[in-house]
Each structure stands twice: as structure tokens, then as C-alpha cells.
Structure 1
Amino acid sequence: MLIEIRQQLGCLHLTHLGYADQTVTKAGPIPDIAVLTTLPTTWALRYSAKNYYKVDPLMRTITLSGEISPIRGTVRDLGQDALAGGDSATFQRDRERRGLGNLFLGVNSSNSYGFRGLTEFTFQVEPAEQRLFTERIRKRLVAIASRIHTALHGSRNPALAAAAAKLLTKREIDCLYWAANGKTDGEIGEILDIARWTVVTYLQNAKNKLGCANRTAAVVTALALGVIEMPVISHRF
């Protein structure tokens, strides 16, 4: 879906972050963040090696209170952070040198339950034309960001997810998570250091508790509710 939108919009890359916290304070813990992106793997590896999440304005919206207004449809030029110099400027220059664009626009979105998300669109636009370009495309970006967030998190309800999570044990949630990541029963057993048939039992229990017909439905339900996240890049990545 992201690749299709990228082609239609004519942008270089899209990245969507989903996070359930309604308020994030500077003193609070950094949450795990569900990330979908069209950025190349080579950049993801460099990003990790350089610990760029500390200065990436997209990630800073998660870790710092008030970095971006939580109002749905807010559009911000994320590259403006580079004007302050320092590590932010280094990060921005590195992105530009590696062909990831020179205009980075972030758009806030949320579903009807308050589950928030943030989408970044990257473009290559002549500096003198960036302001006019942003104004011209603003409404379209807001609509597309809402479409992406709805497709990925439209049914996410933090309150319902918390209630559903209480029905499941930690091991059942762990098994659902790794099943969502495409792991087989045997692979999940190796990861969690438990027997394969124990994994089968945990997934069977989770299926019954969530009222699902099979394990696939249980995984989808857990993802839809937000009991487990999509494949995650966390702050520890």
C-alpha cells in the first residue's frame, strides 16, 4: 500500500509510526513503536548504527512532549530541526546525501478511539519552491496520512486492547506476537525457550479467549485490537 501511494504521490519514501500512548512526557519511558516504511534496509542499518533515533524529528515526536501538536491533520516540515545545527543537522545532511530527499513532511493522524499515528513523506524539491509545494500538497497529504493510519490502525482501541490483554497471559501474548512475525511453532519455541507443543497450547488458549475460529484469526484480532504490535522497530533497535 505504501509503495502504491508513493508512486501516486510522487514522493521518494513514506514512513508511518503508530503508538498508543495518549500523552507522552519527557520523564516517561520511551515506548516501542510500530514502524512501516519504504526506506531501504541499508539506511535502516545505518540509522541503527548511528543511533539516529535520538535526533530523528520523527522519533522525537514520540519521546518529547509537545514536539508536534497532537491535533489531527497537523503538517510540519521535519527538516526544520536541522536549522538548530549539531546532531540534527548531521542527520539531515546524511539523509540528503544518501538520496532520501531534502523535504521531510510529517502529518499527524488518529482514529476514532484516539490511537495516534504519524506519517512522514519525503520529497526532492528545489529549496526555493519547498514552501509553495508544501502548501499546494498539504490537504492531499492529510487525506493520505488518514487513509494509511485508518488502514493500519482504524480499529485500534487502547481501552479495549487493555481489557483484552488482561484475558491473556504474557506467554500467550508473546506467542501471538511471534506468530504475527511469521515464526513457526518450532521457531517460537526456540525464541521463548519452551517446547513446540507448549507454543501450540498457548496459541490455542489465546484463540479461545479471544473467541476466534483459528490461530490466524487470533493473531489478526490481537493486531487489530493493539494487544500486540505489528513487526516493531523499538528504541533499542
Structure 2
Amino acid sequence: MYPMLLELTHFPDFQKGLFKDAVASDTLAMLREVKQQTDCRYVAHVGHPEPRPGSDVVDENVSLLMTYPVSWMLRYLAKDYYKIDPVMQGMNLFPPRADAPGTIRNLSADTTLSLTVKRYLKDGERRGLGNLHLAICATNAFGFRGITLLSFDVAEGDQSEFIDHRRKLLSVASARIHNALHGTRNPALAAIVANLLTKREIDCLFWAANGKTDGEIGEILNIARWTVVTYLQNAKNKLGCSNRTSTVATALALGVIDIPTVAKAYL
């Protein structure tokens, strides 16, 4: 029903990817600092390529970073929660003209959410994710937007005061995460560059960024190995790069393809 590739970066089980130790350890250290500073239980972050007001369809390709435990990660996938998770539904989570960076929405007390979403949040609460879920809007310097979700355990009567006292801290934490993950994403420039590339060239760059060989990319895309080589060569020439590594790095920096992730679930 929803053809998509959910890219799941799960930091409790973080493994080495394309960027090896440096980026992995830096990102993990940042998340640990955010958790300590905000005293939250868990962190999740989604980058949304463009707003989809009024849409109830999940983006075709979505990158989700989370620090939730393995048990919840497996339940999330098994229950198809990505279909109803409000954070996955895009920037329409925030009302028009109220999506400025730092805008906080208390999902736990939101009476406008559907019964299905409320049950989803309650399921997470029963499994130790916390009883207070705050969605925070973030935007980088180029207008690329995302949502950070921080979960807490706070007595129901104290939640409003808790949010008011920590509003600036939470907004700064969200901005830090978003810019660390998507600070170079430039939607306008990415659209221009993407128009220079064919879909197959972008597909090959995506899988190359995820560490696949030419042969493996060919098997995934059901094309010949030498066709993959040709697509990557064409992309290299169009982006003005000298080799495969710089081509992938350039595509990542421009936001033509997303940052490689650890685990992938094909849904």
C-alpha cells in the first residue's frame, strides 16, 4: 500500500558504515549529550525533503534515526507503525505558519490526533518509551526541514510546566541534531543537480553510498554490472568529480541522495 524504503539508523546497535568510525562516533556522542542535557529517555529524528500539507501518504524514501531499544524497533516494523507515526507523516504535523524552527508540539496531550495514533503512543508508553512525546520542528540554513521527537517520563500534572521551563533547551537540542544530520541539505540546489541526473544514476549513487559493489548494485536494480559502471561514470562527469568516492560524497553533500544508514527494511 505504501511503497517505501525506510532507512533505520538504530544507535544502540550502531555498526560501521560508509563513513567508518569518525562520523558514527561523533553522531553517537552528540546523541548521548542531547539525552544528558535534556534528560529525555529516547530521541528520534526524521528529515523531510519537502512539506506535504494535507497528505496522509508517507514519503517514498524517509531516513529515520532513533535511539529506541531493539524490542521497540522490531515492534515498530512488525506493526507497520511507520504508516501511522505522526512524525513520519511530514511537516503537516505542524499547522500552517506555525512550523518555525523550535516549534514544539506535545503529542501526548494533542486532542486532534486520531484514535489510531493515540493507541500507537500509548503502546509505546506501556513499553517504557515514556509518557510525554514532544515533536520539535527544525530547519537548516537552506530551508530543509525535519522533526525531532524527544520522549520523557513526567507526571501528567507537571508536563506543561516542564515544557515551558525547557522550551529553549529542547529547541536548541533539536536544531543541533538536525544540522548535524542535514546541515548541508539544500533542497533548491539538490533539485537542480538532480535534474542533471537520471533516476538510474541516482539509484546507483544511492547504493554506492551504502557500500554496494557494482555487481551488487546490478543485482539490486536488475541491470548488468557494466551498465552500473556506465551510470556511475555519467554521474561523475555530470557532477564534475574525479572519482567514485568524490561523486558519492558530492551527491550526499548536496542532498541528491540521503546519508547511508545501518539497517534497511523494505516495506
- TM-score tier by shorter-chain length is 0.7 to 0.9
Structure 1 Cα separation of the partners of residues 103 and 172 of structure 2 = 11
Structure 2 Cα separation of the partners of residues 84 and 173 of structure 1 = 36
Tell me what 2:17 maps to: none
Tell me what 2:14 maps to: none
Pairs within 5 Å for 1:144-223 = 144-223=173-252
* 1:26 matches 2:49: no
Pairs within 5 Å for 1:1-237 = 1=27, 2-21=31-50, 23-27=51-55, 30-31=58-59, 32-62=61-91, 66=95, 69-81=98-110, 86-231=115-260, 237=267
Q: Say how many residue pairs are matched.
A: 236
Choose 93-102 or 147-156, whichever is displaced more.
147-156
Choose 41-50 or 92-101, whichever is displaced more.
41-50
- Which is bigger in relative contact order (C-alpha 8 A, separation at least 6)? 2
| TM-score normalised according to structure 1 size | 0.86
In structure 1, the gaps of 5 or more residues are none
Contact 1:189 / 1:199 at 8 angstroms: preserved in 2? Answer: yes
State the 1:57 CA deviation: 2.6
Structure 1 Cα separation of the partners of residues 156 and 56 of structure 2 = 37
State the 1:119 CA deviation: 0.6
Identity of aligned residues (%): 52
State the 1:27 CA deviation: 5.0
Contact 1:35 / 1:231 at 8 angstroms: preserved in 2? Answer: no
Q: Which amino acid aligns with 1:185?
A: D
Structure 1 Cα separation of the partners of residues 158 and 112 of structure 2 = 18
| TM-score normalised according to structure 2 size | 0.77
Contact 1:82 / 1:88 at 8 angstroms: preserved in 2? Answer: no
Q: Which amino acid aligns with 1:26?
A: G
